[in-house]
């Protein structure tokens, strides 16, 4: 996950330095100007899922964690704190995460669109549209994500 302004992508996030820099600008707005809004959970989840990296243990886990986070917020309407707590309990006993082959196009909205928002209400709207776009791109895995979020998948 985000570890502060670095100018370069996290080692398991598959983003170019340019997109990562824009992501850092968005996070800086959320941390500062926007007062760390609940939408931040969705910003982080969406970015990680839109930039899944390549098949590796960390990348696989990242995609699963962030897809479940998106599901909890978008579909189950959990607020950020509840989603984070639930996410921890959902994933606690799981050691391995299979690689989910990313869709060829991971949404039509990007961090660039979010960065162009003027003010918090527009920012929230753009993050939600971005998240929906990315979530829908991963539709072939929705049932697996729902099962994991509901505790119906066996720990591996």
Q: Output the pLDDT for position 3.
A: 42
Tell whether 7 is covered by a domain: no
- Its sign, for the CA torsion 22, 25, 27, 30, is negative
Helices then strands, counting H and E runs in the chain, come out as 7, 0
Q: pLDDT: is 94 or 1 the higher one?
A: 94
DSSP state, residue 139? G
Nearest to 26 by CA among 3, 50, 47: 47
Tell whether 10 is covered by a domain: no
Alpha helices in 51-152, H assignment, sequence order: 57-70, 80-91, 111-115, 120-137, 142-149
- H-helix or E-strand containing 138? none
| Cα 116 from Cα 143, distance rounded (Å) | 33
Express each pLDDT in 104-154 by its tens digit: 999 999 999 999 999 999 999 999 999 999 999 999 999 999 999 886 554
Tell whether 9 is covered by a domain: no
Within 10 Å of residue 76's Cβ, how many Cβ atoms?
13
Tell whether 63 is covered by a domain: yes
The confidence band for 4, taking pLDDT boundaries of 50, 70 and 90, is very low
How many domains, the chain? 1
Tell whether 155 is covered by a domain: no
Instruction: Give me the domain span that covers residue 31.
Output: 17-149
Tell whether 128 is covered by a domain: yes
Tell whether 4 is covered by a domain: no
Express each pLDDT in 37-74 by its tens digit: 999 999 999 999 999 999 999 999 999 999 999 999 99
Query: What is the number of residues in the chain?
Result: 156
Tell whether 11 is covered by a domain: no
For residue 77, give both structure tokens.
């309407």
Q: Output the pLDDT for position 14.
A: 74
| Cα 32 from Cα 136, distance rounded (Å) | 30
């Amino acid at each position: 996950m985000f570890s502060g302004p670095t100018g370069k992508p996290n080692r398991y996030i598959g983003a170019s330095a340019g997109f990562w820099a824009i992501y850092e600008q968005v996070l800086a707005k959320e941390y500062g100007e926007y007062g760390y809004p609940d939408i931040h959970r969705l910003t982080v989840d969406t970015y990680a899922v839109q930039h899944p990296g390549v098949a590796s243990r960390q990348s696989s886990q990242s995609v699963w964690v962030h897809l479940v986070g998106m599901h909890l917020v978008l579909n189950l309407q959990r607020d950020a704190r509840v989603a984070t707590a639930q996410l921890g309990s959902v994933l606690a006993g799981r050691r391995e995460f299979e690689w989910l082959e990313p869709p060829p196009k991971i949404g039509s909205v990007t961090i660039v669109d979010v960065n162009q928002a003027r003010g918090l209400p527009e920012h929230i709207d753009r993050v939600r549209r971005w998240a929906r776009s990315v979530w829908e791109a991963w539709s072939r895995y929705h049932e697996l994500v729902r099962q994991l979020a509901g505790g119906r998948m066996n720990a591996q």
